[in-house]
Chain A
Amino acid sequence: MKRKSLIVLAAVVAVLLGTPVIAHHSFDAEFDRTKPVTLKGSVTKVEWGNPHIWIFIDVKDESGTVSNWGVEGGAPNALFREGWRKDSVKFGDTVTVQGSRAKDGSLRANAMKVTLPDGRTVFAGSSGGGR
């Protein structure tokens, strides 16, 4: 029974990570799914508002230069139902974001997954995968 539950849970997570459930606008117009990016840094600002949340993080590159990245997530309504709260990510937290870079090369990304300070990795509501 326990194993069955784990299989079901794994299936649910797989669906959440692979399905474009929270699309508001065309993903491909703004982001490039062929340019995956992983960003680890300190949160400087969180904007919890529709149609997309935005998380800004200071990321240090190999040379030690710090850049501020903006990361787009899903709609707060849908994230709330998936267990997110307004303070799930807050100023000063260290998070790791996996997503896709903006097409225009600016310091923006669309988040697929966010690893929270407590180590949990959660779906971030990316609109990528199916427009």
Chain B
Amino acid sequence: MRTLVLLLAALLVQAPTRTQPHTPDLKGPAPKLPNGRPSMAGVWDNTRRADVTDPAIPGFVKDLPYTAWGKSKWEGYASFMQTNGDYVGSCLPFGITRSIYGPHPLQIMQDNDHLAMLFEQNSMFHLVPTDGRPFTKDLPASWFGESVGHWEGDTLVVDTVNMNGYTRVDTIGHPLSARARFRQTFKRVNFGTIEHTITVTDPKTYTSPWTVKDTWPLDPGTTLIEYACMENNRAFYEGRIKPFIPPDDVN
């Protein structure tokens, strides 16, 4: 009995009264996955880009090389929203680019075989298998599309296809079609930094691919908060934002 009391006393002395917050060395090396690859895990202060051509934000794309169809979609966006409504205002999925370039943070969780992007915007997620599987045959198109990832050295490359073509690149409304493909690269250059690129290839909308480059700082003090988009969407409920009608010319 005396031994047990001494053992418990020793444990109590050693045990911290509460978990101390871990302060990471942001300049230190990137953390590793069990398989030795760099882990992209963390809450990231992803770049806010209401307009990917805004020269005030480093990494912007200078000129978007529109096709005739793409130019008509860009110039007609305001009138399109009058007739077909606003998909974002209707709380439909933002898609990859508008989720990444929106005003709310992104958390990445990752293991050897998957990367999960958790977007605070609308509390949405997107999964990226990194286990070498191909794209799914005959999968219906969707707002975020389907992604698979592979490693090129320490850079994770994520390819996305099969998007429905209803989303826009950014808040200002640069267009996309259902033929769009994205290639994202993620390179964790140190514990506190990801260098991210996204290359948009969409031959219906743009005559050549174009790339946006970002540097995301880790935001270790931030926790994602639930975002229930329809909870107080007064502009929609009261008719000032029209329910979204999908366009029929994006394929």
Contact = CB atoms under 8 A, between A and B. Distances in A.
A100 B134 CA distance: 50
Contacts of B235: 25, 30, 52, 72
A11 to B, nearest CB: 15
Interface residues of A, number: 27
A25 B89 contact: yes
A21 B232 contact: no
A26 interface: yes
B208 interface: no
B229 interface: yes
Contact of A51 (B51, B81, B91): B91
Interface string A8-44: 0000000000001111111001100000000000000
A77 B234 contact: no
A47 B172 contact: no
Contacts of B48: 21
Contacts of B249: none
Interface string B70-84: 000000001001000
Contacts of A130: 50-51, 54, 171-172
Contact of B232 (A23, A29, A53, A80): A53
A25 B241 contact: yes
A80 B88 CA distance: 22
B104 A29 contact: no
Interface of A: 20-26, 29-30, 47-54, 70, 72, 75, 77-78, 80-81, 104, 130-131
A113 B106 CA distance: 27
A29 B88 CA distance: 13
A51 B91 CA distance: 9
The listed residue with most B CB atoms (<10 A of its CB), out of A29, A30, A54, is A29
B227 interface: yes
Given A26-B86, A26-B173, A80-B225, 11 more contacts: A20-B50, A21-B103, A22-B103, A25-B89, A29-B240, A51-B229, A72-B234, A72-B235, A130-B50, A131-B50, A131-B173
Interface in B20-79: 48, 50-51, 54, 78
18 contacts: A23-B50, A24-B88, A25-B88, A29-B81, A30-B241, A48-B232, A49-B228, A49-B231, A50-B227, A50-B232, A51-B227, A52-B233, A77-B225, A81-B222, A130-B50, A130-B51, A130-B172, A131-B51
